[in-house]
Amino acid sequence: MEKIKGLINAPFTPFTAEGEVNLAPIPAYAALLARNGLKGVFINGSSGEGYLLTEEERMRLAEAWMQAVPEGFKVIVHVGSTCVKSSRRLAAHAREIGAWGIGAMATPFPRIGRVEELVKYCEEIASGAPNLPFYYYHIPAFNNAYLSMYDFLQAVDGRIPQFAGIKYTFESLYEYNRCRRYRNGKYDMLHGQDETILPCLAMGGAQGGIGGTTNYNGRVLTGIIEAWEAGDLDKARELQEFAQDVIDVICHFRGNIVGGKRIMKLIGLDLGPNRTPFRNMTDEEEARMKQELEAIHFFERCNR
């Protein structure tokens, strides 16, 4: 099964001022991402507020992205839900519209506390699109599924024929690398933390990743990989440190989903507010965030 090389972006969902899904910005959004070195999108995930969308909204967004992306640009659809029937329906829809792959994080309710429960959950979802690569999205900070991913790989191996790998959004570089080495690299381990791309490259095997700050800082993050491949460690370090500076700023403003989405407005692509229960940034907070970004010369290096 093909392994992803390069960075896939986790896009925000555009909303109108009234909180309705807004498909109009998606063509310009797709062009911006492709122009800045991204290789695809992982839509309707955490950055896209996927759990706050209806099934119909998620399907409309998937269709809009499929129509907007350039040739060769991968569309992976997050289909995770608290209702497995909904997930299977979303997976089948992704297959019908020609998406490249699907993925799902563990349901936030009820909490999944055993590896076998997680395998069964993924197995049922993947059955909705038996021919599409399926990625498990490991982000335990969102759903408390603090399970061993190495044990998960051992358990899922052979159970889901189209299981492709893991989007690994967790802090344990040891476990990430252990999973990457499982059965001589059988599965695709997509790095999921923009603040630690360089360490995963240095450990010898990371090839691809899915990021959230790539929405507005993709030029820098793809630059880390390019510098590493060129053997320019000093440049790779400088770019990684700058990426961390940007993340430090958004952490002052409720993180990537809230602060990062507002950065898109500052770089010329207004994607609207966040949905309830997210607490949207005020105009005063936006002004302060802009000042902090200017202080690190962000607007000279960001996506454009």
- Is 193 a residue whose pLDDT tops 70? yes
Looking at residue 87, its pLDDT comes to 98
Q: How much of the chain, in percent, has pLDDT values that exceed 70?
A: 100
Write down the mean pLDDT value for the chain.
96
Looking at residue 1, its pLDDT comes to 81
**Both structure tokens of 75:** 């569309």
- Convert the pLDDT of each residue in 241-285 to its tens digit: 999 999 999 999 999 999 999 999 999 999 999 999 999 999 999
9: closest CA among 223, 194, 281, 149? 194
Query: What is the spatial distance between Cα 162 and Cα 49, in angstroms, rounded to a whole number?
Result: 26
- Convert the pLDDT of each residue in 165-179 to its tens digit: 999 999 999 999 999
**Pair 77, 85: CB distance under 8 Å:** no
- Is 293 a residue whose pLDDT tops 80? yes
Asked, for residue 216, whether it belongs to a domain, the answer is yes
Asked, for residue 294, whether it belongs to a domain, the answer is no
Asked, for residue 254, whether it belongs to a domain, the answer is no
Looking at residue 203, its pLDDT comes to 82
End-to-end CA distance of the chain: 33
Can you tell me the mean pLDDT for 10-25?
97
Asked, for residue 80, whether it belongs to a domain, the answer is yes
Pairing of strands 74-78, 40-43: parallel
Asked, for residue 123, whether it belongs to a domain, the answer is yes
Place of tokens 């996506």: 303
Query: What is the spatial distance between Cα 22 and Cα 149, in angstroms, rounded to a whole number?
Result: 36
Asked, for residue 53, whether it belongs to a domain, the answer is yes
Looking at residue 62, its pLDDT comes to 98
- Into how many domains does the chain fold? 1
- Convert the pLDDT of each residue in 76-132 to its tens digit: 999 999 999 999 999 999 999 999 999 999 999 999 999 999 999 999 999 999 999
Domain that residue 82 falls in: 6-233
Active-site residue, 290 included: no
Query: What is the spatial distance between Cα 209 and Cα 191, in angstroms, rounded to a whole number?
Result: 4
Asked, for residue 289, whether it belongs to a domain, the answer is no
Which secondary structure element, helix H or strand E, spans residue 105, and what is its range? strand 101-105
Query: What is the spatial distance between Cα 240 and Cα 235, in angstroms, rounded to a whole number?
Result: 9
**Pair 88, 102: CB distance under 8 Å:** no
Active-site residue, 167 included: yes
**Both structure tokens of 256:** 């990537």
Q: Which of 39, 167, 187, 216 is catalytic?
A: 167
Q: What is the CATH number of the domain that holds 69?
A: 3.20.20.70
Looking at residue 190, its pLDDT comes to 95
Asked, for residue 285, whether it belongs to a domain, the answer is no
- Convert the pLDDT of each residue in 197-253 to its tens digit: 999 898 867 789 999 999 999 999 999 999 999 999 999 999 999 999 999 999 999
The structure's pTM equals 0.96
Looking at residue 204, its pLDDT comes to 64
Q: Which of 29, 121, 136, 137 is catalytic?
A: 137
